[in-house]
């Protein structure tokens, strides 16, 4: 964070200001306005090709209805890993803002600090252009006493990544005042105070090294909370846990559910460092997903490095696939489950884990502790047909299944929650699972006489995407249109090919760009002349007939004939 920006943050309240930091906004009036407490959270729709995608956020704030921006309320540049924010949400900060009407959230990024890890472990460096996003609210947000207490920005990662030519990150997303139901992504907290049996006040950080402060957070304990000491052992009682906390010294790793007014309902708390700041170094601790089992360990796809990043990155820099590592497991390795169960747990393919390493010098890196983040196994691949009733198959990507196992994984749908990876997570029916579309299925294995089947609890479907769509004909009453040309970037299924497409607009579809509603889109088509050209980007799923698409999101732009647009 540069000196000018730091000075502005320290001297000014988080209101509209002029001439400070990255914001050139001007205050709408000189009168001081009462402030309202607001939490800011982040999410992502994920991307089928990337196991990890990281950028550095340099500022964030809100945009007034008049178009003026608040000063950035982010106290320091913060690294954000986005692919994990499909099943989790990132609590970014707690702040205060003026009462009033707002139309969106702005966020800026470090231009040369964006990188992605492909599912085979290779790293891709991205140019970030433009280096900001202005995410509009679906409806204007009114902040008043007793009103909205949170704002959420969701990054559309699939629409933001351009892999043609030089890889580019062009951030696209939307915003809402609704607090998502997903649990919080891992946070770190330095204990400020703790009353035995009550809540714990912490200063929250995005990283264990405490380089990226997020602000104060109140932590309450769930009834079934798991409390773990710095040696990886479960506390015998809550009293023993509270007795170990030292204000200003004890650093905690926190997992749980975000609640209103800067509160976290913790499901798991681990003491990472009982004497933070005492001069010691933290061991390398990495979060990721197991992609294959080996005779004495497993392969781990890295999502993010939680502690010891400086040591780990120096070692990984020598690898041609730094996002994929071999982990050694021996008799001294401790394995901790997502609840209070201990050995004989065994890590399995598809599980999300956190690994603390005994040392991090060369592969296989010996694990001192393996924490299973959740019991569900998750597998990514392409949907395929199967003759079994209420079942699909996933054609697994080679990196997501153990060597020797069948590539074709049967998935029993049962009562699985099926959703499309778009903002709001639209719910789908089993009949919407079109062969050829990408998906991730999470569940538990069950054995049958003929096969090992994944009994799914969750299925996330990656939406199809076409860009540069021209409208050849449309039917306002039927909420549909036909394209003359389009370029498919992400598959809608095997029966949808480039060329003219019949598109039905789903009743809950989101529209953004030069218009913000389905009616506005058709009004724009009515007003189109030979000097204007309406261009579309559409996300959704394949329909029941060949070359038909059901649109769940539309991006609408206008250009001169002959222009191209992504």
Q: Please report, for the domain that includes residue 396, its CATH number.
A: 2.40.50
Which residue range(s) make up the domain with 406?
A: 377-461
Adjacent-strand bridge partners of 106:
61, 134
User: For 20-34, 267-281, 404-418, 482-496, which range has the lowest pLDDT when averaged over its residues?
Assistant: 20-34
d(CA 544, CA 542): 7
Answer yes or no: do 360 and 245 share one domain.
no
Task: Give percent above pLDDT 70 in the chain.
Answer: 86
Q: Is residue 278 part of a domain?
A: no
Answer yes or no: do 24 and 156 share one domain.
yes
pLDDT higher for 278 or 446? 446
d(CA 223, CA 227): 11
> Per the structure, how many domains does the chain have?
5
Among 252, 273, 294, residue at a domain's last position: 273
pLDDT higher for 146 or 356? 356
Answer yes or no: do 61 and 147 share one domain.
yes
Confidence grade of residue 28 (pLDDT, cut at 50, 70, 90): very low
- In this predicted structure, what is the pLDDT of residue 490? 87
User: For 339-348, 486-495, 544-553, which range has the lowest pLDDT when averaged over its residues?
Assistant: 339-348
Answer yes or no: do 312 and 164 share one domain.
no
- In this predicted structure, what is the pLDDT of residue 401? 54
pLDDT tens sequence across 159-195: 899 888 899 999 988 888 776 667 788 889 999 998 8
Confidence grade of residue 351 (pLDDT, cut at 50, 70, 90): confident
DSSP E strands in 65-176: the ranges are 78-81, 90-98, 100-109, 114-118, 123-128, 132-143, 150-155, 161-162, 168-169, 173-176
- In this predicted structure, what is the pLDDT of residue 468? 81
Q: Is residue 565 part of a domain?
A: no
pLDDT tens sequence across 222-277: 888 889 888 878 898 999 999 999 998 899 999 888 876 678 899 899 998 887 65
- In this predicted structure, what is the pLDDT of residue 4? 33
- In this predicted structure, what is the pLDDT of residue 397? 67
Among 220, 247, 273, residue at a domain's last position: 273
Answer yes or no: do 158 and 17 share one domain.
yes
For the entire predicted model, the pTM comes to: 0.72
pLDDT higher for 17 or 51? 51
Helices and strands (H, E) in the chain, number of each type: 5, 34
DSSP E strands in 385-500: the ranges are 391-396, 408-412, 417-420, 438-447, 452-461, 464-475, 480-490
Q: Which of 547, 374, 395, 401 is nearest to 466 (CA)?
A: 547
* Vertex 250: Cα angle to 249 and 256 (nearest 5): 145
- Is residue 188 within 8 Å of 307, Cβ to Cβ? no
366-378: average pLDDT:
83
Mean confidence (pLDDT) of the chain: 82
Answer yes or no: do 290 and 193 share one domain.
no
Q: Which two tokens stand for residue 558?
A: 């206008």
Confidence grade of residue 49 (pLDDT, cut at 50, 70, 90): confident
Q: Is residue 279 part of a domain?
A: no
Answer yes or no: do 484 and 541 share one domain.
yes
pLDDT tens sequence across 429-443: 998 998 999 898 988
């Amino acid at each position: 964070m540069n000196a000018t920006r730091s000075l502005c943050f320290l001297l000014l309240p988080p209101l509209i200001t002029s001439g400070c930091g990255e914001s050139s906004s001007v205050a709408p009036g000189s009168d001081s306005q009462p402030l309202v407490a607001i939490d800011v959270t982040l999410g992502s729709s994920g991307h089928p090709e990337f196991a990890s995608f990281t950028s550095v956020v340099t500022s964030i704030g809100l945009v007034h209805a008049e178009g003026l921006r608040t000063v950035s309320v982010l106290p320091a540049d913060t690294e954000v890993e986005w692919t994990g924010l499909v099943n989790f949400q990132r609590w970014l900060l707690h702040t205060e803002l003026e009462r009033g009407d707002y139309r969106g959230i702005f966020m800026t990024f470090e231009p040369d600090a964006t990188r992605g890890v492909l599912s085979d472990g290779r790293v891709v460096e991205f140019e970030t252009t433009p280096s900001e996003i202005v995410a509009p609210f679906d409806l204007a947000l009114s902040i008043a006493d007793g009103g909205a207490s949170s704002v959420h920005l969701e990054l559309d990662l699939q629409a933001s990544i351009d892999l043609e030519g030089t890889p580019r990150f062009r951030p696209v997303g939307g915003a809402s005042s609704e607090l998502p139901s997903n649990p919080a992504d891992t946070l770190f907290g330095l204990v400020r105070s703790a009353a035995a049996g009550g809540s714990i006040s912490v200063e929250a950080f995005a990283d264990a090294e405490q380089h990226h402060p997020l602000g104060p957070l109140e932590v309450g304990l769930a009834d079934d909370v798991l409390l773990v000491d710095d040696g990886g052992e479960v506390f015998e009682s809550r009293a023993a846990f509270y007795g170990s906390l030292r204000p200003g010294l004890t650093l905690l790793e926190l997992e749980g559910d975000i609640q209103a007014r800067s509160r976290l309902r913790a499901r798991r708390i681990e003491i990472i460092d009982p004497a933070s700041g005492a001069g010691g170094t933290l061991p390398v601790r990495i979060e990721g997903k197991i992609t294959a089992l080996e005779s004495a360990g497993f392969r781990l796809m890295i999502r993010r490095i939680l502690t010891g990043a400086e040591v780990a990155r120096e070692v990984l820099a020598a690898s041609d696939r730094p996002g994929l590592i071999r982990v050694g497991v021996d008799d001294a390795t401790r394995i901790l489950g997502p609840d209070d169960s201990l050995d004989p747990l065994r890590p399995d393919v598809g599980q999300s884990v956190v690994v603390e390493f005994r040392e991090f010098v060369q592969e296989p890196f010996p694990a001192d502790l393996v924490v299973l983040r959740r019991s569900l196994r998750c597998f990514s691949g392409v949907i395929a047909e199967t003759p079994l009733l209420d079942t699909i198959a996933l054609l697994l990507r080679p990196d997501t299944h153990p060597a020797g196992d069948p590539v074709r994984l049967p998935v029993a749908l049962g009562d699985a929650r099926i959703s499309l990876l778009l903002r709001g997570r639209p719910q789908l029916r089993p009949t919407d699972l079109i062969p050829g579309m990408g998906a991730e299925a999470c569940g538990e294995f069950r054995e049958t006489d003929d096969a090992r089947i994944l009994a799914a609890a969750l299925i996330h479907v990656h939406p199809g995407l076409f860009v540069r769509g021209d409208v050849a004909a449309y039917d306002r009453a039927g909420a549909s249109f036909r394209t003359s040309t389009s370029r498919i970037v992400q598959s809608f299924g095997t029966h949808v090919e480039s060329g003219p497409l019949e598109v039905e607009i789903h009743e809950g579809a989101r529209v953004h760009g030069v218009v913000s509603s389905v009616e506005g889109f058709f009004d724009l088509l009515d007003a189109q002349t030979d000097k204007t050209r309406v261009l579309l980007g559409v996300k959704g799923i394949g329909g029941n007939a060949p070359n038909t698409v059901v649109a769940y999101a539309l991006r609408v732009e206008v250009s001169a004939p002959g222009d191209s647009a992504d």
